[in-house]
Amino acid sequence: MRQKGATLIELFIGLAVLGLLFALAMPSIKTWLSSTQVRSAAESILNGLQIARAEAIRKNTQAIFKLTSASGVPDWSVLSDDPTVAGINLNVPVQSWSGAQAKNVGVGASSSSTQDYSSAISAGTGMPASVTFDALGKEVNSGTDLTRIDVTNTADSSATRLVIIVSAFGQIRLCNPAVSLASNPEGCQ
């Protein structure tokens, strides 16, 4: 009678082929994971900006979004006006996020009105930074508030870099500077 099944040699050949395929796929998996970390942090910052803008509109007053870390870690908080105190006092905490959750992710900020997306703002540049929204959802301090946030992976330069743009009219947009806006809506310019 003939036995059915695989021999030990066939099993080792199958494992060697799987190991080779895994070794070939490893660099792209590492870049994918790094890019996912960047996207997660960028979307968190984008959500924080949207929360600040919505809070300002909802309360019919001002709200501020702050990138709080001077080292480039993507920590942020949203503060709104305290109605019990006369004048504008942006000290009521609404929401915050700790960048410790985003491994190897760094942010840099700029308040410049002219933007060149070809090079990244290095992590920690322009930090801490903030943007204040008024009751109509527009940026209050046009020219001094942040208008651009670059989110990069500090450990993997091949990871996707993402940029968050805040317009003077309060529009907030997440884009990929490596993509042309003419051919893809994810592009920056």
Burial of 179 (0-12, 13-18, 19+ CB in 10 A): middle
| Residue-level pLDDT at 16 | 93
**pLDDT higher than 90, residue 117:** no
Beta strand pairing status for 90-97 and 129-133?
A: unpaired
Q: Residue 67's pLDDT band (boundaries 50, 70, 90)? A: very high
Q: What is the mean pLDDT of residues 30-54?
A: 93
Percent of the chain with pLDDT over 70: 98
Q: Which of the listed CATH numbers 3.90.230.10, 3.40.50.2300, 1.10.645.10, 3.55.40.10 matches domain 31-175?
A: 3.55.40.10
Mean pLDDT of the chain: 89
- CA pair distance 153, 46, nearest whole angstrom: 17
Give the model confidence (pLDDT) of 71-94 as tens digits. 888 899 999 988 778 777 888 899
Whether omega before 27 lies within 30 degrees of 0, making that bond cis, reads: no
Strand order in the sheet with 76-81: 90-97, 76-81, 63-67, 129-133
**pLDDT higher than 90, residue 18:** yes
Domain ranges of the chain: 31-175
State the pTM of this model: 0.84
- CA pair distance 121, 170, nearest whole angstrom: 21
Amino acid occupying residue 104: N
For residue 150, the SS3 value is strand
Q: Both tokens of residue 132?
A: 């204040």
Give the model confidence (pLDDT) of 51-62 as tens digits. 999 999 999 999
**pLDDT higher than 80, residue 33:** yes
Amino acid occupying residue 78: V
| Residue-level pLDDT at 107 | 92
